[in-house]
């Protein structure tokens, strides 16, 4: 089975070189779509309604969470999945580390684009949010700001957000003058407004949203001085106190909306700290938002001590003894837990055999919460390094 191209063909990320403490970004989630087909996940799972119905449609889920959160979800479902594999006489697919990374990047990215906007809601928002007081759309409206219809680029939510952002301070001036209130947007508003503008504009240009490149976004996050007030990933967390943490479990329109809504607070603070209002060109806003989105992929560091007790209490230690002697290998001799993806890949590949042993040993499948996964990873990483 193959997914129709149009659903996800717009996805594509290239990532630059990555340091160890940074988030492991997939080279290209498009690759993950191929893995999803090749490994037959699609036989049981649909994406956007297309695919098998044995398991849940994976694009329906709100947010899969960080790498280890997703790992926990998959791990805990493994017995049910295995049962289906047996029923359908399918082989359990094994995955390489790169395939696992691609697959995770792909699943994670599914929510990025969010739902398509609603044209009719978009039209009524232009009135209810007061945009029409200052802007012309479809021949009606004010002349304080530019005619929104003429600029086809706004048909893409990201370009609209970028344009709004760039003009933020000037718009703000006007809003003050006219004693209007700053338009606060919610939920899907950004997508809806641009869906309406897309329909209202006459141009034939293909205005699909650019997916954004998180690796470039990482650089922009510094270049545009976001780092002056915000924490990104990794070590930035422990450097300066007083930085505002960006931790958003939202798709691209959600992130864009928050940035817009916080525009006033940011403007005020930037003025105070003499930071120039950053402006964005070309694909920059898309790249930056993709990076902010991928911040959610990062896991908090785990607790090695707690990890050790998870290893005991979940029964891993029954089969994985020190210096061997259990039914599974001594995990300390495996110097291969450099990344969470690596651990997940090894666990996934052995989940079939492990399950057989769990069943014959009359034991329960060890359910692992996200926190368990995180701590387990910290622990395994530590023992394997010795
Ligand atoms: C033979 C059928 C089958 C195949 C093939 C399969 N799965 Fe599943 N999967 C299931 C079933 C059934 C569930 C639901 C289990 C449950 O409800 O506990 C599930 C659950 C999941 C979930 C959790 C979904 C959620 O929202 O809770 C994820 C993620 C997942 N599978 C990913 C994958 C990936 C990735 C692959 C390919 C490597 C794959 N599955 C292959 C049957 C399958
Ligand atoms: C009080 C008047 C006012 C309101 C209300 C207002 N705008 Fe604006 N807007 C402006 C002005 C003035 C500019 C041009 C700023 C500049 O020249 O830098 C602008 C610029 C823009 C731009 C960039 C236009 C360009 O040429 O690149 C977009 C997009 C935009 N507004 C969208 C909106 C949307 C969507 C809303 C409603 C949520 C809205 N505006 C509400 C006054 C307003
Ligand atoms: C001068 C300080 C400053 C700079 C520079 C700055 N911000 Fe902000 N940012 C803020 C403040 C203040 C808030 C509002 C926090 C609040 O409302 O609680 C905020 C809020 C946000 C939010 C919403 C966070 C949330 O959890 O709701 C996002 C997203 C954001 N900023 C992104 C950015 C990006 C991207 C950049 C770089 C282009 C940037 N900020 C630059 C001060 C700044
Ligand atoms: C019932 C016995 C059993 C239990 C319980 C068990 N494992 Fe395993 N595990 C195995 C066996 C057997 C293998 C080797 C499978 C193989 O070689 O294909 C294995 C392999 C692994 C591997 C891959 C090692 C490698 O060299 O590739 C990892 C990682 C792992 N287990 C982690 C765990 C964790 C974490 C737990 C606890 C949540 C756990 N195991 C619980 C039996 C078990």
CA atoms within 13 A on the CB side of 40: 12
Ligand 3 atom nearest 288 alpha carbon: 35
Query: 203: Cβ–Cβ under 8 A, 6 or more apart, which residues?
Result: 152, 155
Please check the confidence at residue 50 and state whether its pLDDT lies above 90: no
pLDDT tens digits, 326-368: 788 888 877 678 888 889 999 999 888 888 888 888 888 999 9
Could you tell me the residue ranges of all domains in the chain?
A: 5-109, 119-297, 304-385
pLDDT of residue 340: 87
**Which residues form ligand 4's pocket by a CB distance below 6 Å?**
314-316, 318-320, 327-329, 331, 334, 346-347, 350, 353-354, 357-358, 361, 366, 376
Secondary structure (DSSP) of 89-126: TPPPPP--HHHHHHHHHHHHHTTTT-SPPPHHHHHHHH
Does the beta carbon of 278 lie inside 6 Å of ligand 3?
A: yes
Q: How far is the CA of 33 from the centre of ligand 2 (A)?
A: 38
Ligand 1 atom nearest 103 alpha carbon: 35
Please check the confidence at residue 19 and state whether its pLDDT lies above 50: no
Residue with the smallest CA separation from ligand 4 atom 28 is: 347
pLDDT band for position 249 (50/70/90)? low
pLDDT tens digits, 168-177: 888 888 888 8
Q: Which residue has the higher pLDDT, 226 or 249?
A: 226
pLDDT of residue 234: 63
Percent helix, strand and coil across the chain, each to the nearest 5: 55, 5, 45
Please check the confidence at residue 6 and state whether its pLDDT lies above 50: no
Ligand 4 atom nearest 361 alpha carbon: 1
Q: How far is the CA of 137 from the centre of ligand 2 (A)?
A: 12
Q: Please give the share of the chain, as a percent, with pLDDT higher than 90.
A: 10
pLDDT of residue 367: 93
Q: How far is the CA of 249 from the centre of ligand 2 (A)?
A: 28
pLDDT band for position 271 (50/70/90)? confident
Q: Which ligand is nearest to the CA of 167?
A: 2
Give yes or no for a contact between 145 and 171, defined as CB atoms under 8 angstroms apart. yes
Buried b (16+ CB within 10 A) or exposed e, 305-320: ebbbebbeebebbbbb
Give yes or no for a contact between 253 and 158, defined as CB atoms under 8 angstroms apart. no
Structure pTM? 0.74
Hey, what are 25's tokens?
Answer: 């970004």
5-109 is classed CATH 1.10.760? yes
**Secondary structure E strands in the chain:** 46-47, 50-51, 136-137, 140-141, 230-231, 244-245
Q: Which residue out of 167, 172, 192, 259 has the highest number of ligand 2 atoms within 8 Å of its CB and is therefore the one to mutate?
A: 167
Please check the confidence at residue 59 and state whether its pLDDT lies above 90: no
Does the beta carbon of 2 lie inside 6 Å of ligand 3?
A: no
2-16, 23-37, 152-166: lowest mean pLDDT where? 2-16
């Amino acid at each position: 089975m193959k997914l129709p191209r149009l659903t996800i063909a717009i996805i594509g990320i290239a990532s630059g070189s990555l340091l160890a403490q940074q988030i492991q970004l997939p080279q290209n989630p498009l690759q993950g779509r191929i893995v999803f087909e090749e490994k037959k996940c699609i036989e049981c799972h649909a994406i956007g309604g297309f695919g098998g119905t044995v398991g849940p449609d994976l694009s329906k889920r709100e947010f899969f969470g960080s790498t280890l959160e997703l790992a926990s979800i998959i791990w805990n479902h493994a017995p049910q999945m295995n049962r289906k594999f047996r029923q359908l006489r399918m082989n359990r697919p094994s995955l390489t580390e790169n395939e696992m990374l691609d697959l995770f990047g792909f699943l994670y990215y599914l929510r990025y684009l969010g739902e398509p906007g609603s044209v009719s809601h978009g039209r009524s928002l232009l009135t209810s949010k007061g945009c029409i007081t200052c802007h012309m759309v479809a021949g009606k409206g004010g002349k304080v700001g530019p005619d929104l219809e003429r600029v086809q680029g706004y048909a893409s939510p990201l370009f609209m957000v970028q344009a709004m952002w760039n003009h933020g301070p000037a718009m703000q001036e006007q809003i003050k003058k006219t004693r209007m209130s700053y338009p606060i947007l919610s939920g899907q508003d950004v997508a809806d407004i641009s869906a309406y503008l897309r329909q209202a504009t006459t141009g034939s240009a293909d205005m699909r949203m650019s997916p954004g490149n998180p690796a470039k976004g990482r650089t922009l996050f510094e270049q545009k001085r976001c780092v002056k007030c915000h924490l990104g990933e990794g070590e930035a967390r422990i450097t300066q106190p007083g930085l505002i943490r960006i931790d958003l479990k939202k798709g691209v329109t959600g992130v864009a909306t928050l940035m817009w809504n916080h525009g006033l607070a940011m403007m005020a603070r930037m003025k105070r700290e003499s930071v120039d209002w950053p402006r964005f060109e070309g694909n920059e806003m898309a790249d930056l938002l993709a990076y902010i989105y991928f911040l959610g992929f990062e896991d908090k560091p785990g607790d090695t001590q707690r990890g050790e007790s998870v290893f005991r209490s979940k029964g891993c230690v029954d089969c994985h003894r020190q210096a061997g002697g259990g039914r599974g290998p001594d995990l300390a001799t495996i110097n291969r837990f450099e990344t969470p993806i690596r651990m997940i890949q090894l666990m996934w590949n052995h989940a079939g055999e492990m399950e057989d042993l769990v069943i014959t040993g009359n034991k329960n499948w060890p359910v692992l919460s996200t926190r368990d996964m995180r701590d387990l990873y910290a622990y395994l990483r530590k023992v394997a390094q010795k």
